[in-house]
Structures are given as structure tokens and as C-alpha cells.
Structure 1
Amino acid sequence: MNIEQYVKDLNAVHELYPEIYSYAMEHHVPIIDGDALSVLKHLIKMSGARKYLEIGTAIGYSGLHLLSVFDDSHLITIEKQSEMFDIARQNFEKYKVEDRVEAYLDDAKTLDLSIDEQSLDLLFIDASKGNNQHFFDKYSPYVKENGLIIVDNILLRGLIADDNIENRNKRKMKEKVASFNQNMSNSSYATSFLPIGDGLLVISKS
């Protein structure tokens, strides 16, 4: 057993939504890795965050987990793929949290949210990776002072450190994600780049 698997086993917890997890595995729906999810929920618990904006709903797996930390939390979530969006809505209804969810079937790059600036406790970016910078610039003003911004998949399953990518689209995506990562590293924000799951970037807005 290697160190990575050892830690993964220690972090393993009871899956709250096994049917959704199994569906994601069977249909190759990208969802947050278990290690990264554990850290995300731990950060929410420690910070007391109650109001979340999620960029990239997919089938509602991570959104349900966000809502599971506190019973009085509220989720705003955006998904542009209608098939995913419909499944997510069904999952929110199945687990009876639909009254705590404000879901948008729209493109997060162009959607104009009617919420106040600095009204969110947490921004979770988990959509098209090449748009991380755009999503950060567009939605970070909605996060209150001392709030959290979390970005998933900053390692691109190892592509971020691969200098020999032949596929042009993958190479362009790697360049965009690498640029965003470096921009955040050089910024005035407090940042932590964590080699957990597929890479988790934790940003404190202060």
C-alpha cells in the first residue's frame, strides 16, 4: 500500500448518497473525489459557511454534500447541460432539499445573478476548467470578506505537470489552468494548493 492509498483509507467515510455516487461511476459523470470532498465539508464546518454558490451542478452530488453539513444552509447552483440539470433537480427533490436550492439552467459565463455582492459564504468552482479565471473574476465579488473560494481539479489528472501533451485542446486547457493557478499564487489572496483528490485550491477572501 502506498502513502496516498493509506491516507485515502483513513479519510474514507460513509457515503451519504450511494445511489448518486454509483450512477456517476456507471455513467462516467465527473464528481469531486472523496478526499477533496472531505476537506471541502470540513472547511465548511470550521468556517460556519451557510450560503454557497456552486459553478457546475452536474447531477447534484456535491451540492447535496454541501447542504448536508448544516440543516439551515442554502445552495445556489448553475449548470448549463440540461440532461445533468434535470437529474440534479430530481436528486434534490428525492432528498427533500429542493426548498434550500436555487438552481439555474444557464451558462455561468454569461448568467447575471440577482444577488448582492459579498452575500455568499462560499464559492465552489467545479465547471469547465479552462474558465476558472473567468469564473473567479465574475463571481468572487459575491463572496463576503473572510469567505472561502474553493476550486476543484487544479491538477487536471496529472496533465498540469505534463510537458509533452500532444492533443491541442488538452494542451490549451492545461495552459489556461496553469495560468490561473500561477495568477492565484501571485495574488494578494491567502491561497493553499492542496494535492488532494485531483487538486484543491483553497482561497480566503480577506
Structure 2
Amino acid sequence: MNIAQYVKSLNVVEEHYPDVYSYAVDNSVPIIDSDALAALKHLIRIKGAKTYMEIGTAIGYSGLHLLSVYDDSHLITMEKDRGAYETAVENFSRYDVASRVDAHLGDAKTMDLNIEEESVDLLFIDASKGNNQLFFDKFSPFVKEDGLIVVDNILLRGLVTEDDIVGRNKRKLKEKVDAFNQHMSQSDYPTSFLPIGDGLLVISKSQV
């Protein structure tokens, strides 16, 4: 067991939604790693965040976990795949949180939301990784001045550190994600790049 595996084992907690998790595994639906999820929920508790915006609903796994931290929390979430969206809506209903969710079917890149700026405590970006910069630029204005922006999969399972990438699409994806990471590291926003899960980027909305 290496250090990363040791720390991951310490972060393992009881799964609240085993059926949703099993569905994701059985159907190869990408979901947030358990240790990254634990860190995300811890950040929510520390911040006292109760209003969330999520880019990339998938089947609702991360959304359910976000809503599990506080009983009076609320989630705005977007998903462009109809099948995943419909499964997520079913999951939200089955776990009796549908009244706390505004689920939108459509492409977040072109979606216009009728909500006020600086109205959410947390923005969670977990959609097409090559569009991280676009999602950040478009949706960060909706985050409160003292809120958080969290981006998942910033390491691309190690792809961001590889130099000899044969596939053109993989190479372009690596370049886009790395460019976003580098941009945020040099920005005026306080940032933390956490090597847990597939990498979490935590950004404080307040500029230094």
C-alpha cells in the first residue's frame, strides 16, 4: 500500500446511496471518487454552504451527496444527456429531495439560467473537462463573493503530466485542461490544487 492508497482508505465512509453507486459502476457512468467527495462535503460543512450549482448532473450521484450535508440545502444542476438526466430525476425523486432540486436538461455551454448573480454558495464543475475555462467564466458570476468553486478531474487520471500522447483528441484535451490549471494558478483567485481522487481544484471567489 502506497501513501495515496493509505490516505484514500482513511477517507472511506459508508456509502449513503449504494444503489446509485452500483448503477454507475455497472453502467460505466463517471462519478466523483470517494475521497474527493469526502473532501468536497467537508468543504461544504466548513463553509456552511447550502446553495449549490452543478455543471454535469450525470445520474445525480454527486448531487444527492451535496444535498445530504444540510436538509435545507438547494441544488441547481445541468445535464445535456437525456438518459442520464432522466435517471437523475428519478434518483432525486426516490430519495425525496426533488423539491430541493432545479434540474435542467441542456448543454451548459449555451444554457441561460434565470437566476441572480452571486446567489449560490458553491459552484461544482464536473462536466466536459476541455470546457473548464468556459464553465468557470460563464458560471462563476453566480457564486457569492465569499463562495467556493470546485473543479473535479483536473489530473485526467495522470494524462496532464504525459508528454508523448499519440491520440490527437487526448492531446488536445490534456492541453486544454493544463491551460486552465495553469491559468487559475496564476490568477488573482486563491486556489488549492488537491491531489485526491482525480484531482480537485478549489477556488475562493474572493480575489486577493
- TM class by smaller structure: over 0.9
SS at match of 2:192: strand
Rounded Cα–Cα distance in structure 1 between residues aligned with 2:179 and 2:30: 23
- Give matches, 1:1-206, under 5 Å: 1-206=1-206
> 1:106-144: CA deviations, max 9, x gaps?
100000010000001000000000000000000000000
Q: CA deviation at 1:5?
A: 1.2
Rounded Cα–Cα distance in structure 2 between residues aligned with 1:185 and 1:7: 25
Rounded Cα–Cα distance in structure 2 between residues aligned with 1:135 and 1:14: 32
Percent of residue pairs bearing the same amino acid type: 70
> 1:86-123: CA deviations, max 9, x gaps?
00000000000000000000100000010000001000
Rounded Cα–Cα distance in structure 2 between residues aligned with 1:61 and 1:185: 29
Whichever residue aligns with residue 87 of structure 2, its letter is I
SS at match of 1:41: helix
Q: Alpha carbon RMSD of aligned pairs, Å?
A: 0.4
Whichever residue aligns with residue 179 of structure 2, its letter is S
TM-score by length of structure 2 reads 0.98
> In the comparison of the two structures, how many residue pairs are matched?
206
Rounded Cα–Cα distance in structure 2 between residues aligned with 1:140 and 1:195: 23
SS at match of 1:170: helix
Whichever residue aligns with residue 60 of structure 2, its letter is G
Rounded Cα–Cα distance in structure 2 between residues aligned with 1:4 and 1:196: 8
Q: CA deviation at 1:205?
A: 0.6
Residue segments in structure 1 that go unaligned for 5+ positions in a row: none
Rounded Cα–Cα distance in structure 2 between residues aligned with 1:194 and 1:2: 17
Residue segments in structure 2 that go unaligned for 5+ positions in a row: none
Whichever residue aligns with residue 97 of structure 1, its letter is V
